[in-house]
Amino acid sequence: MDNNEISNDNDSDSAEHEAAESQSEKDQEILSVARSRFDIAVTAESEIRVEALDDLNFRAGDQWPDDIKRAREIDRRPCLTINKLPQYIRQVTNDQRQNRPSIKVNPADDKADVETAKILQGLIRHIEYNSNADVAYDTAFEGAATKGIGYFRVMTDYCDSKSFEQEILIKRIRNSFNVYLDPNYQEPDGSDAAWGFIFEDMSKDDYKAQYPKSKMADMTDWKSIGDSAPTWAGEASVRVAEYFYKTFKEVTYVLLSDKTVVEKSQLPPILPPEIQIVAERTSVEPAIKWCKINAVEILERTDWPGKWIPIIPVLGDELDIDGRKVLEGVIRHAKDPQRMLNYWVSSETETIALAPRAPFIGVEGQFEGHEEKWQSANSKNHAFLEYKPTSIAGQPVPPPQRNVFEPPVMAITNARQQSSEDLKSTTGIYDASLGARSSENSGIAIQRRAAQSQTNTFHFIDNLTRALRHAGRIIVDLIPKVYDTPRTVRILGEDGTVEMVAINQIFMKKGEPTTYDMNAGKYDVTVSVGSSYQTKRQEAAAAMLDFTKAMPQQASLIADLMVRNMDWPQAQEIADRLKKTLPPGIAEQAEGEQDQKQLPPEVKAKMDQMGQMIEQLTAQLNKANDSDEMKLQELESKERIEMQKIQANIEIEMAKMGSKESQLLLLQEIAQIEKRLDMLGQNQPIDVEQENEAGAMGAMASQQQPIGGISPSQQPEGG
């Protein structure tokens, strides 16, 4: 090896060493900023978290102050807890589960289309189903209702262990205390947050098994780290955090003469002659970074493809008091009424239980020699109790007597009832919503009473709706970046039907080339709140049953539709059989109306033109009734020739249309004209009523004849 080769090797090693040192310095800067931001979040949220933890413990049944509970236990006094708060919380959360908000996708510019929006919406339903997103939503919403805040997240992962394609997932965050989001965000959905943490505390053994190559895995003692970063590491555990943070970059865009906008750095060196740069501007765009860190190093890192921090908060009541944020749930102001209830229940139990244990009163010396029996008289059933009939002075005295008194049970009961009413007032949930019987008898009145409580707590569901809208925006922003290759995806319809759809590629649909480009156009998101599709079907079946009670004579006409909306086994097969029993023309009429709506404009225009021609011919025939025989014969000959032409055109158009209702109407008109021509040829007067009846009969007869060379039974569907 010559000197030049040795020099080149040294230069290469030196460059790698400098690059490693530079990367290490950048990593330490990232870690320093992360620890600083974590401290800011801890300080800003300390009061919120203390109150939230107290709310959570209170909901779990820890409702007596420690000192009072200890004193009562020492005195062996009742210390009861009648926890009514879970039913109030479930009233709010179960109402949300019965009326789940759903994400809707809509086109937002001229490059977007309705069909692609439907594909996006169906893909979001698949993502929700595949992720068990309902669990994520329910957990976050229950956190908001209980302690004022909950979280869920959006993430990406590979489809399976062998796949190179990724998918989007919506996952729950079970412990919201493990999340720290930028406390300076202003939007209720956290869309303007600049950074966020999701923490996990790992034992030393689990950490070393998952990250065997990290620096901390080689350390035998974590105490030094715990001294410098006590919130991140201890002697037996270490805190590992997913750290999202937002950076910004300047991007220059150009507007071309063909109205397209392109990043300037991606322009080709030479533009085509017909393309010119019209305008240019610089934009500041956010970029999201993700890394997994511990107290001293970065374990993993990547770029997050979206433009928002994918941690979505769901809030309860949000207050701003002199710049201090306060978050409250259902429990916060119901604590005192619940404590009062517990106290009065305990007092009532204590008073009633101790009423027969009133103390005995006697003069000094009466119990001498029998102290043991008298001391246990309130706890044991003695056959007899002895006493001395004289006092210490030797004076005769009556036997000892109980100090009987009437305990204030009624007053305690009233106070207990009042505390229950206070619970309803502070939560905004009253008897009608809790299932208590009221004076209302009609279903509408009962529903309106229940709706009063739903109105009092509707802001919780509304806050979840805002969170879901932001989650929908995150997913719509991610789909073009994650589902960026030609692939076939599963989409779900509102009724749960499954369909496989090809995206980002051209395929044939109904004989025409079609493509669903996930990168084309802009789409926005709305959220609708209401009953699920299954609930709507059940409500439709119930409404139809009520309709048949009001109009029983019409029940047979809608029996197939009513059964089709029911959920018992083989309901669809029974509905198909019932449909076959309908009177002729009922089901066909509905199908014909739908076919008529789907007729092409040019076919409909020809139908209108032929109708006008038939009307003109009919008017001429009516006028010809007053003419002489020669003119009648001449007109008859001409009209028959014209009718043959019209008949041929009609048969051709009817063969194209496939609308049974339109065919029936045209055949009826033809039959009427033919009848009039026959009567004119025989020089007979025309009776209008007989003519109409004959025309109708002719139409029915014509319906049994071949149409365009094809009999009705042989016609394919759709003509």
Percent of the chain scored above 70 by pLDDT? 69
Shared domain for 557 and 617, answered yes or no, is: no
Q: What is the pLDDT of residue 331?
A: 92
Q: 263 lies in a domain? A: no
Beta strands in 274-385 (DSSP E): 277-293, 298-304, 311-315, 317-321, 324-328, 360-361
Say yes or no to pLDDT of 354 above 70.
no
More confident residue, 404 or 418: 418
The H-or-E segment that residue 201 falls in is strand 195-203
Average pLDDT over residues 115-121: 90
More confident residue, 176 or 556: 176
Say yes or no to pLDDT of 396 above 50.
yes
Least confident of 391-395, 557-561, 694-698: 694-698
Say yes or no to pLDDT of 347 above 90.
no
Query: In this structure, which amino acid lies at residue 556?
Result: S
Say yes or no to pLDDT of 344 above 70.
yes
Q: 575 lies in a domain? A: yes
* pLDDT, tens only, 301-324: 999 999 999 999 999 999 999 889
Q: What is the pLDDT of residue 449?
A: 59
Shared domain for 566 and 626, answered yes or no, is: no
pLDDT confidence bin for 686, thresholds 50/70/90:
very low
With beta carbons less than 8 A apart as the criterion, state whether 169 and 475 touch: no
Say yes or no to pLDDT of 711 above 50.
no
Checking phi first, is residue 585 left (phi over 0); if not, alpha (psi -120 to 50) or beta? Answer: left
When divided into structural domains, the chain yields a total of 2
The H-or-E segment that residue 525 falls in is strand 523-529
* pLDDT, tens only, 606-646: 666 666 776 676 666 666 555 555 555 555 555 555 665 66
Shared domain for 613 and 666, answered yes or no, is: yes
Shared domain for 637 and 707, answered yes or no, is: yes
Say yes or no to pLDDT of 705 above 80.
no
Q: 645 lies in a domain? A: yes
pTM of the model: 0.68
Shared domain for 625 and 707, answered yes or no, is: yes
Least confident of 92-101, 143-152, 181-190: 92-101
Average pLDDT over residues 449-476: 84
C-alpha span between 525 and 103 (Å, rounded): 7
Q: 607 lies in a domain? A: yes
Copy the structure tokens of residue 269.
Answer: 């060196």
Q: What is the pLDDT of residue 716?
A: 39
Q: 540 lies in a domain? A: yes
pLDDT confidence bin for 238, thresholds 50/70/90:
confident
Shared domain for 603 and 628, answered yes or no, is: yes
Q: Which of 515, 548, 582 is the last residue of a domain?
A: 582
Say yes or no to pLDDT of 575 above 80.
no
Average pLDDT over residues 154-170: 90
Average pLDDT over residues 121-132: 93
Least confident of 80-89, 339-348, 447-456: 447-456
Q: What is the pLDDT of residue 151?
A: 97
pLDDT confidence bin for 341, thresholds 50/70/90:
very high
Shared domain for 604 and 641, answered yes or no, is: yes
Query: Pairing state of beta strands 101-107 and 523-529?
Result: antiparallel
Say yes or no to pLDDT of 532 above 80.
no
Say yes or no to pLDDT of 148 above 90.
yes
pLDDT confidence bin for 196, thresholds 50/70/90:
very high
Q: What is the pLDDT of residue 463?
A: 93
Average pLDDT over residues 409-423: 83
C-alpha span between 496 and 488 (Å, rounded): 18
pLDDT confidence bin for 714, thresholds 50/70/90:
very low
More confident residue, 630 or 712: 630
Q: What is the pLDDT of residue 642?
A: 62
Range of the domain at 570: 533-582
Q: What is the pLDDT of residue 64?
A: 93
Q: What is the pLDDT of residue 1?
A: 53
Average pLDDT over residues 34-49: 92
Shared domain for 602 and 710, answered yes or no, is: yes
Say yes or no to pLDDT of 717 above 50.
no
Say yes or no to pLDDT of 215 above 90.
no
Say yes or no to pLDDT of 546 above 60.
yes
CA 267 to chain centre: 42
Percent of the chain scored above 90 by pLDDT? 30
C-alpha span between 395 and 377 (Å, rounded): 25
Shared domain for 601 and 577, answered yes or no, is: no
* pLDDT, tens only, 668-683: 666 666 666 566 555 5
Average pLDDT over residues 12-27: 72
More confident residue, 549 or 210: 210
pLDDT confidence bin for 125, thresholds 50/70/90:
very high
Shared domain for 617 and 701, answered yes or no, is: yes
Rounded to the nearest 5°, which phi and psi values hold at 535? -65, -40
Q: 564 lies in a domain? A: yes
Say yes or no to pLDDT of 685 above 70.
no
With beta carbons less than 8 A apart as the criterion, state whether 419 and 341 touch: yes
Average pLDDT over residues 243-269: 88
How many of the other CB atoms lie within 10 Å of CB of 653?
Answer: 19
C-alpha span between 57 and 55 (Å, rounded): 6
Shared domain for 604 and 561, answered yes or no, is: no
More confident residue, 331 or 396: 331
Q: 654 lies in a domain? A: yes
- Residues 6 or more apart in contact with residue 148 via CB below 8 angstroms: 48, 51, 52, 55, 315, 316, 317, 327, 328, 329, 332
Q: What is the pLDDT of residue 695?
A: 44
Shared domain for 600 and 569, answered yes or no, is: no
With beta carbons less than 8 A apart as the criterion, state whether 164 and 485 touch: no
Q: 578 lies in a domain? A: yes
C-alpha span between 26 and 19 (Å, rounded): 11
Q: Which of 523, 554, 582 is the last residue of a domain?
A: 582
pLDDT confidence bin for 137, thresholds 50/70/90:
very high
Mean per-residue pLDDT over the chain, rounded: 77
> Which segment, 81-90, 550-559, 567-576, is predicted with the most confidence on average?
81-90
Say yes or no to pLDDT of 140 above 90.
yes
Least confident of 87-91, 143-147, 192-196, 444-448: 444-448
* pLDDT, tens only, 184-194: 999 999 999 99
